[in-house]
Amino acid sequence: MPGLFQDIGGAKFISLQHIVTAIGFGYTLIAFFRVFSIVHGSINHGTRIAAAGPLQELRNSDSTLKFQVLGAVSGIMSTCFLSIAMLVGNAIVEKNNWETVDFWIFHFCSGCDAIANMMMALLFSGALTGTWSACAQDQKLEAKREQRLAKTAAKYRPDSNAEWQSKVEELAGRAFTLEALLIFYMGLGKDYMDWFDPNQNSTNDVVRGAIIPMTKESQTSLATVMMKGKYTRPNKMVTHNWGNLFRDLVAAIVADALEEDQFCHIAALLNTNPEKVAEWVYARNAHLRTYWVCAFSVNQHAGICAGNPQHTRDAVTGIEHATCNN
């Protein structure tokens, strides 16, 4: 290993190798902090305008970024420090002619540098605060959900009224598969409700414009028609707002089946290429997952069909929603 100084013509000069190394370290630090400043500024801007879900993700990203900066800077600084230590040690060895000590100093410093860089790589990757912690958090939430489900199931007792109990059990069997839901969605605007616009029509619009007309003859829930009368228990029950876009309801269900945290990208794809969404669902073998949604699972002819007391109107046509009597 060359010393810190080289003897040229009787004069001492700093080795070119070490000058280049120092410049490289300095430039790396400057470039890294420049990138950090840009990314950190973008994240801070995003946190000021983001909704609740994306906001939490941005905050998590900011936290991970800080750990990555710490890891990168610490790794670079450890290399710089140990390089200096080797140079100083080498200078001492040369002065005292300790040839064997030079060997051990070099390998000791190299080993420490390798260990330090491996440890900093963990911070740099975000593994300690990213994937592992996220998985652990998901596992805790799932465990709590399963505990609540087990407690609720243990407390369940059939109702003393046999007729009521029979209806509850019958309603519980009106779920539908995700496959059936996507088939229904892809028929909107083509086979029924030909004015359907995914960017405007709400669930209420779809119930009034498609679900009720499609079940007029059977006088049943659409889920019963979709599943051809087969008793189907749900994997999950979905609560939702009838005033929200129907597309978003479908996207949220698909996101759940695909184990995605957000539905916005799926919603965008449902606008232009629902067949691709169906392809993803089949690829993940999620098409047979079952859901219970009131709009589909309740017989609307026994509920809202006869009246429209709020005089609600379709978002696209502007026409007041029809009732079963007109």
Q: Which two tokens stand for residue 318?
A: 């502007």
Looking at 173-273, list the stretches that DSSP marks H as alpha helix, in order from N- to C-terminal side.
178-187, 203-206, 212-214, 222-226, 246-257, 264-272
Q: What is the pLDDT of residue 141?
A: 82
Q: What is the pLDDT of residue 324?
A: 81
Q: What is the pLDDT of residue 250?
A: 98
Q: What is the pLDDT of residue 269?
A: 95
Q: How many CA atoms lie within 13 A of 23 on its CB side?
A: 6
Q: What is the pLDDT of residue 193?
A: 97
Tell which residue, 289, 253, 292, has the closest CA to residue 170.
292
C-alpha to C-alpha distance for 208 and 212, rounded to whole angstroms: 6
Q: What is the pLDDT of residue 58?
A: 57
Q: What is the pLDDT of residue 55?
A: 54
Amino acid letter for position 76: I
C-alpha to C-alpha distance for 322 and 307, rounded to whole angstroms: 8
Sheet with strand 176-177: strands edge to edge: 176-177, 290-293, 236-238
Q: What is the pLDDT of residue 291?
A: 98
C-alpha to C-alpha distance for 253 and 277, rounded to whole angstroms: 12
> Which segments within the chain are labelled E, that is strand?
5-8, 11-14, 176-177, 236-238, 290-293
Q: What is the pLDDT of residue 145?
A: 87
Q: What is the pLDDT of residue 218?
A: 93
Q: What is the pLDDT of residue 249?
A: 97
C-alpha to C-alpha distance for 168 and 251, rounded to whole angstroms: 28
List the domain boundaries for the chain: 5-137, 163-302
Tell which residue, 183, 150, 214, 167, has the closest CA to residue 281.
183
The SS3 of residue 220 is coil
Residues 6+ apart with CB under 8 A from 236: 256, 289, 290, 291, 292
pLDDT tens, residue order, the chain (326 aa)? 444 444 444 444 445 555 555 666 666 666 666 666 665 566 565 555 444 445 555 566 666 666 666 666 666 666 666 666 666 666 666 666 655 555 555 566 666 766 766 666 666 655 555 555 556 677 788 889 889 989 998 998 999 999 999 999 999 999 999 999 999 999 999 999 999 999 999 999 999 999 999 999 999 999 999 999 999 999 999 999 999 999 999 999 999 999 888 899 999 999 999 999 999 999 999 999 999 999 999 999 998 888 999 999 999 999 999 988 65
pTM score, whole prediction: 0.63
Q: What is the pLDDT of residue 138?
A: 72
Query: For residues 139-174, b (16+ Cβ closer than 10 Å) or e, as one string?
Result: eeeeeeeeeeeeeeeeeeeeeeeeeeeeeeeebebb
Residue 26: its H or E element = helix 16-49
The SS3 of residue 206 is helix
Q: What is the pLDDT of residue 303?
A: 85
